[in-house]
Amino acid sequence: MTSIPFQGSPTPSLGVEWEFALTDKQTGDLSNSAAALFAAVAEQHPERTGQVHKELLRNTVELVTGICRTTAEAVYDLTGTLAVVRRIADELGVDLYGAGTHPFAEWSTQLLTEGHRYAELIERTQWWGRQMLIWGLHVHVGISHRDKVLPILDALLNYYPHLLAISASSPMWAGQDTSYASNRAMMFQQLPTAGLPFQFATWSEFEAFVGDQKTTGIIDHINEIRWDIRPSPHLGTIEVRVCDGMTNVADLSAVVALIHCLVVDLDRRLTAGEALPTMAPWLVQENKWRAARYGLEAIVILDSDCTERLVTEDLSNVLERLAPIARDLECVDELAGVSRIIERGASYQRQRAVYARTGSMRDVVASVVEELAQPVS
């Protein structure tokens, strides 16, 4: 059996990874200019190089925080890097585009980032791997001990549709409206190690699974398990990868605060001796599909008794219940942003409204780019 030590975090620390596409300022199409952007960052702002990461394709840049204590601290960290990267992107004639998919780009014109890991992924996954014109938000929350990780992960799956619904930003694909709020969620699960996590009862079961994956050559490294929610043992965190790419800082702040509060709430309840609620995998899977398809209009399954409710109504109760946690984590204002997303519409709804008004997917791209420039309110 593969032994996987978990480097527990003494506090519920926070780390955020925000993926962006690069789009041409003139055409709105994707631009394979990430290499030039990374080179310029290294030359002009070497202190930021550790916060700007490469991804699978040369049209993508990922901004990452250090280890943070609060949502506000994480957002401050991100926006500092964002200001640097946006200025350099402007010099290169490209914009940062923060949605889950691009409305009209063609996968066949995208270039692969150099590196053995990326080349091997494409060699194995072929057509599906080349289709991955998708961008997301990843949030790490520190967990003190490995025995907490899997119970918290399983219970967190109950909130999967809530997180996907408020973050959904990928309704369009290859020039068409897919009728899904999050086409990205459906696309990404086609990769062989992506999608919903298995629900293991013990850490040893997880270790056995990873051992089987390595023995059979499915993965070489644990990071190649690309679940929507996964343990990150070397960081001592649970990594939540459910969400689509975020189109503005205000929405990002709200989603990060919600994830932070949910994980800490579950951690405290587990520590107090509570058996955390879970649902059967087939119910979790159905919830993922409903949120991806219907977004904020999804009727979701809440428990093992198959109680159902409109996701926005349940979010209201969740926010009320998490209020004391938000005070402790100093993110009351940020968490309130979840309600504002519901009131004004999620990104997928805003994109559709632009298209309904103008009939132009180029205008959809411009609207997403413009949102990133808006001040936080």
What does the domain layout of the chain look like in residue ranges? 14-373
**CA pair distance 326, 8, nearest whole angstrom:** 22
Residue type, 56: L
Q: In 3D, which of 74, 64, 260, 252 has the Cα closest to residue 167? A: 252
Residue type, 131: Q
**CA pair distance 93, 130, nearest whole angstrom:** 25
pLDDT classification of 190: cutoffs 50, 70, 90: confident
The predicted model gives 243-263 an average pLDDT of 98
**CA pair distance 40, 295, nearest whole angstrom:** 38
pLDDT of residue 110 exceeding 80: no
Identify the H or E element spanning 76.
helix 71-92
pLDDT classification of 1: cutoffs 50, 70, 90: low
**CA pair distance 351, 357, nearest whole angstrom:** 10
CB 153 within 8 A of CB 233: no
pLDDT, position 338: 98
For the packed helices 71-92 and 332-344, what is the interaxial angle rounded to 10 degrees?
60
pLDDT, position 106: 82
Task: Tell me the average pLDDT of the chain.
Answer: 93
Question: With pLDDT > 70 as the criterion, what percentage of the chain qualifies?
Answer: 93
pLDDT classification of 235: cutoffs 50, 70, 90: very high
**CA pair distance 375, 138, nearest whole angstrom:** 22
pLDDT, position 183: 97
pLDDT, position 119: 63
pLDDT of residue 111 exceeding 80: no
Looking at domain 14-373, which CATH architecture does it have?
2-Layer Sandwich (3.30)
pLDDT, position 191: 85
Q: What is the pLDDT of residues 264-313, one digit of tens each?
A: 999 999 999 999 999 999 999 999 999 999 999 999 999 999 999 999 99
Residue type, 260: H
Quote the pTM value: 0.95
Q: In 3D, which of 319, 254, 243, 270 has the Cα closest to residue 143? A: 270
pLDDT of residue 117 exceeding 80: no
pLDDT of residue 39 exceeding 60: yes
| Beta strand ranges found along 220-363 (DSSP E) | 226-227, 229-232, 237-240, 299-301, 308-310
User: How do beta strands 226-227 and 194-195 pair?
Assistant: parallel
pLDDT classification of 54: cutoffs 50, 70, 90: confident
pLDDT, position 65: 98
